[in-house]
Amino acid sequence: MRRHVIAGSMLLALCAVSAACDEKLSDLTGPTPNLQPTLSSIQREIFDTTDASGRQACTNCHTAAGRNPSGLMDLRPGASYASLVGVTSPAKAGAIRVVPGDPANSYIIHKLEGRAGIVGTRMPRGSVLLTEGQILVIKRWIELGARND
Partner 1 sequence: MSHRRLLFAIALAVATCWPLHAAAQGAITVAPQLEGDPDLDFVPLQPDFMLITLPTTLRVPRFKGAFRVTHRFGRPLGAGDFGDLAEDLFGLDSGAQIGLEYRFGLMRGLQAGIHRTSNKTIEFFSQYNVLQQNGTSPIGLGVLASVDGTNNFRDSYSPALGAVVSRTIAPVGTVYLQPIWVNNSNLQPSELVDDNDAFLLGVGARIRVRPTVYLVGEIIPRIAGDDPGVNQAAFAIEKRTGGHVFQINFSNGFGTTMGQIARGGTSNDDWYLGFNISRKFFRGNPSGLSPRPIP
Provide CB contacts within 8 A for 27, sequence distance 6+.
133
- The dihedral built from the CA positions of residue 149, 115, 130 and 49, taken in this order, carries a sign that is negative
Q: How far is the CB of 13 from partner 1 (least distance, A)?
A: 6
Q: How far is the CB of 26 from partner 1 (least distance, A)?
A: 8
Query: Is the Cβ of residue 41 or residue 70 nearer to partner 1 in the bound state?
Result: 41
Residues at the site binding partner 1, with contacts judged by CB under 8 A: 3-4, 6-8, 10-11, 13-15, 17-25, 27-28, 36-37, 136-137, 140
Query: Is the Cβ of residue 36 or residue 80 nearer to partner 1 in the bound state?
Result: 36
Q: How far is the CB of 101 from partner 1 (least distance, A)?
A: 12
Give the whole-angstrom CA distance, residue 56 versus residue 127: 6
The length of the chain, given as a count of residues:
149
Query: Is the Cβ of residue 125 or residue 147 nearer to partner 1 in the bound state?
Result: 147
Q: Measuring CA to CA, which residue among 141, 116, 133, 130 is closest to residue 38?
A: 141
Q: How far is the CB of 15 from partner 1 (least distance, A)?
A: 5
Q: How far is CA 74 from the centre of its chain?
A: 17
